Each structure stands twice: as C-alpha cells, then as structure tokens.
Structure 1
Amino acid sequence: MKLSRAEYNEIARFTEQLRPTRQCVKMLKDRFPNHLQSTLLSIFSLEYQKRIKRTISKHQTSEAIENYFQRYLSQVKMHPSSSVLLGLANELDIAPSLMARIILERFLQEQEDSVSSKQVVNEMLREPSLIPDDNLAYNVYQCTINDCCYGPLVDCIKHAIGHEYEVLLRDKLREKNLSFLDENQLRAKGYDKTPDIILEVPVAVEGRVVHWIESKASFGDDHSHRNYLNEQFWSYWNRFGPGLVIYWHGFIEELDCHRDRGILLKDCFPSDIVTLCHGTSQD
C-alpha cells in the first residue's frame, strides 16, 4: 500500500498518543479502517522507535534507574500478582521490554554485586523462568508478551516475517521461470554485501531494467528509506546495476523518485515483468 506523505504524517501524529501494547493495533485499525493492519502496525513500530531513541537516555541515568527499581519493589510488594512493570512502562512512556531490561539489570546487579553480562540478561529476557525471583520473572514475561515493538518475542516475529517474504519472493520468481541467485548463494560465491536476489538474466519492470531485487518486510518511511539508500541500495546499484526494492507493507509514494537513477520501488511483486532476452511478458 502506497501512501502520500500527508497520509503518512496523519497516521504518525495519531501514533503519538499510543503505547506499544496489543490494544494499539485495534485503535489504529478503528481510526484508519481503509488501511491494511500490517501497514499500520509497521508505521507505528517505526514511529515508536523514533520516539524511544529521542527519550531513552533520560531513562538510563543512575538516578532514574534507582527510582524505577525502588518503585517496582514497593509496588510489587503491595500487589504481587499485578503487572507492575507493564503499568510503570506505560506510565513513563517507555517500551515494556526496555523497562524490563532496566529493572532486570538493576536486580542482577544487587544480587551479584556486579554488572551482569549482556548475554546473561538476554537469556533471561528470552526465558524469564531463569530469573531467580518469581515476581520479577512474571513481570518480565508480561512486558515481553505485551510489547509489540521491542523485545525477544518481537525480534523473533520480525525475523520470521522477513524470512516468509523472502521465500514468497523466491516462489514468485520461480513461477515466472526466472533464473536467480539468492543471498546465501551469493555469499557462498564470496560476496559480502548483497541484495536478496540477483537475476542471472535482467528483466524490465514498468520499462525499467532490473538486475537485483531487495525484499523489505516493513513500511518504507523517509528515515528508514534514506538509511537503506545510503547503507545498501546505492552500493547494490554501484556493484550490480539498477534494481527493485519491494516494501511489502507499503511506502511513502514520494520516495519512489530515483527510477531514472536506477532504483525502483514497489509494494508487491510486479505483475508486468518483461524478459529482456525475449521481450515478451511473463504471465
């Protein structure tokens, strides 16, 4: 789904009042019923991550951490069966999984009288039953399952969705009988930085030559697309020639402005692929 920048900005402004909980998905869909849920959730995730990057430093001072930890201890003592950390995260407008990490690191520091390794903390966030405190384990678990932007569960889901769309892309290419090399095959040949697909025989899409295809299981906004251009797309263009980027959850239509320079944007697999060797449409 392609959106104008004005449409995107309207959605982005609405997300400012939302928290990264399961309820935000319903609120977004109710407010923008004509947009795909996957598109709305991807936009919210992008905007919320920007918000967190702007504010996270104030939550990571020693004074703030100690204040949050003491508040947690006090509240969990009074309400041991409540989701104390989740409520605290929503009150302070910080992602629940990040709040869980802050409190867990502070708890382990007190238990061990030293700073725990990142690996130990990550393992406990992935598997809260490893936490040697039942109340904290429960609270960390509640933060993880109720966070739709951060945390090990979200990372796992994003990885699975990204893989799913890469498989879909390969299946679509095989349906068109197009010969290609995927990222794993390219790395086996010694390439260190590659797009998801290199076409062994270039094709044309909407009159534009395409040598490579990159799959993005996300929405393409100004910030992420600019980063991708600088860190990936232009280097692909320099090495392999013009290519196609598929933002499966849509993009801001004004960003599709580099066609003449060799980067084409789509929000789905193109239906009008023409092989350059025969000049005939592949149905």
Structure 2
Amino acid sequence: MILTKAQYDEIAQCLVSVPPTRQSLRKLKQRFPSQSQATLLSIFSQEYQKHIKRTHAKHHTSEAIESYYQRYLNGVGKNGAAPVLLELANEVDYAPSLMARIILERFLQEHKETPPSKSVINSMLRDPSQIPDGVLANQVYQCIVNDCCYGPLVDCIKHAIGYEHEVLLRDLLLEKNLSFLDEDQLRAKGYDKTPDFILQVPVGLDRV
C-alpha cells in the first residue's frame, strides 16, 4: 500500500502524544490497521529520533541528571519492583534506554572510585545482570525491553534485519549471474568505504 504525505503526517501527529514503547506501537497499529507493522515502526522510529535529537541536551544537564536520580531512588525506595525508571522516562518524554544509561552512569559514579568507561556502561546495558545492584539491573532491563527505538535490543534487531537483507541481495546477484565484490573482498583490497556489494561490471536497467 502506497503511503501518502497526508497519511504520514497523520501518523506522525499521533506520535506526538505517545511514549516510545512497544505498547504504544501496538496502539498505533490498532489506530492505523491498514498500515504494516514495519511501516509504522519505521515512522515511529524516525519521528522519535528527531524528537530525541531536539531535546537531548535538556536531559543531560547536571540538574536534570540529579533530579532524575533522586526521583529514581525515591521510587525504588517505595517499591523496587515497580517500573520506576520506565515510568520516569515516559513522564519526561525521553527514551527508556537512554534514561537507563543516565541513571546507570550516575549510580556507578556514586559507587565506583573511578568514572565508568563507555565500554563498561555499554556492556552493562547489553547484559544488565552485570550491574552490581539487583534493583537497578531489573529497572534497566525493563527499560531496554520496552524501548522500541533505542538500546542494545533495538541495535541487535536492526543488525539482524540488515544481515538478512544482505543475504537476500547476495542470493539475487548470484541468481542473476552478476559479478560483484562483497565487503570482505573490498576490505582486503584496501577500500576505506565498504558497501555490502559493488558490481564489477555496470548493468543497465530498463525503466518500467
């Protein structure tokens, strides 16, 4: 189904008032049943990333970080099993995975003698069981699995989809008996930029 500009704008406008969670995506599908899940997710992700880029700075001021951290501590102090971090992210309209990163970094700064490295933070976000606090680990996990735009789970899905399409493209090139070089071959030849495939012989395409 062809998506018109008016339909895109209607979907984008609907996204203004919903958080970037999988539950919101399901509601969006109910609102626009004629659109595919992939189409809605693509629009959802694109529009939300625009929003995050516009508002990123305000969430990373020292005042904002301290406010979020204290609210997190107060929340889990009352009920550690409640989705405190996820609800906080939704309330301030920030991606759950990015909120989890803010709180995790602040927690580690308080409990570690040296500032945590980016690689350590990324590793803990990919595997929250590494976080040395069970309550925070659970809170981070909830944010990761409920975020459909950011975070290690989304990155993994994107990578898998990209690889799937790369395999499909390779099969198509082989089926058409076209000569090509893949990424590994290009890298071995010293190319600094390596697209998935480069045709060794140009081909002409008939316009339909």
TM-score where L is the length of structure 2: 0.93
Residue 26 of structure 1: CA displacement? Answer: 1.4
SS at structure 2 position matched to 1:3:
coil
Residue 114 of structure 1: CA displacement? Answer: 4.0
CA–CA distance in structure 2, aligned partners of residues 149 and 62 of structure 1 = 25
Mapping of 1:6-45 within 5 angstroms?
6-45=6-45
Residue 8 of structure 1: CA displacement? Answer: 2.3
Residue by residue over 1:11-48, the C-alpha shift from the partner in whole angstroms, topping out at 9 and shown as x without a partner, is 22222122111112212222222222111101111111
Change (3 A) 1:88 1:193: same
CA–CA distance in structure 2, aligned partners of residues 165 and 18 of structure 1 = 30
CA–CA distance in structure 2, aligned partners of residues 113 and 53 of structure 1 = 32
Residue 130 of structure 1: CA displacement? Answer: 1.1
Residue by residue over 1:51-70, the C-alpha shift from the partner in whole angstroms, topping out at 9 and shown as x without a partner, is 01111111111111111111
CA–CA distance in structure 1, aligned partners of residues 58 and 114 of structure 2 = 22
Residue by residue over 1:80-115, the C-alpha shift from the partner in whole angstroms, topping out at 9 and shown as x without a partner, is 111110111111110000110000111111102442
Counting aligned pairs with the same residue, the percent is 67
Residue 195 of structure 1: CA displacement? Answer: 2.9
1:186 is the counterpart of 2:183: no
CA–CA distance in structure 2, aligned partners of residues 84 and 36 of structure 1 = 32
Residue by residue over 1:94-142, the C-alpha shift from the partner in whole angstroms, topping out at 9 and shown as x without a partner, is 0000110000111111102442111111111111111111110110111
Residue 172 of structure 1: CA displacement? Answer: 1.5
- Residue identity in the other structure for 1:19: P
Structure 1 window deviating more from structure 2 (57-66 vs 176-185): it is 176-185
Residue 155 of structure 1: CA displacement? Answer: 0.8
1:135 is the counterpart of 2:143: no
CA–CA distance in structure 2, aligned partners of residues 41 and 73 of structure 1 = 33
Q: Report the counterpart of residue 54 of structure 2 in structure 1.
A: 54
* Structure with greater strand share of residues: 1
- Residue identity in the other structure for 1:49: Q
1:206 is the counterpart of 2:201: no
Q: Report the counterpart of residue 109 of structure 1 in structure 2.
A: 109
Residue by residue over 1:151-203, the C-alpha shift from the partner in whole angstroms, topping out at 9 and shown as x without a partner, is 11111111111111111111112222222212222222221114322222322
Mapping of 1:123-162 within 5 angstroms?
123-162=123-162
In structure 2, the gaps of 5 or more residues are none
The number of aligned residues is: 208
Change (3 A) 1:75 1:117: same
In structure 1, the gaps of 5 or more residues are 208-271, 273-283
Residue 72 of structure 1: CA displacement? Answer: 0.6
Larger Rg: 1
CA–CA distance in structure 2, aligned partners of residues 54 and 39 of structure 1 = 23
Q: CA RMSD in A?
A: 1.6
CA–CA distance in structure 2, aligned partners of residues 171 and 25 of structure 1 = 32
Residue 206 of structure 1: CA displacement? Answer: 3.5
Mapping of 1:157-168 within 5 angstroms?
157-168=157-168
Residue 10 of structure 1: CA displacement? Answer: 2.3
TM-score where L is the length of structure 1: 0.70
- Residue identity in the other structure for 1:17: S
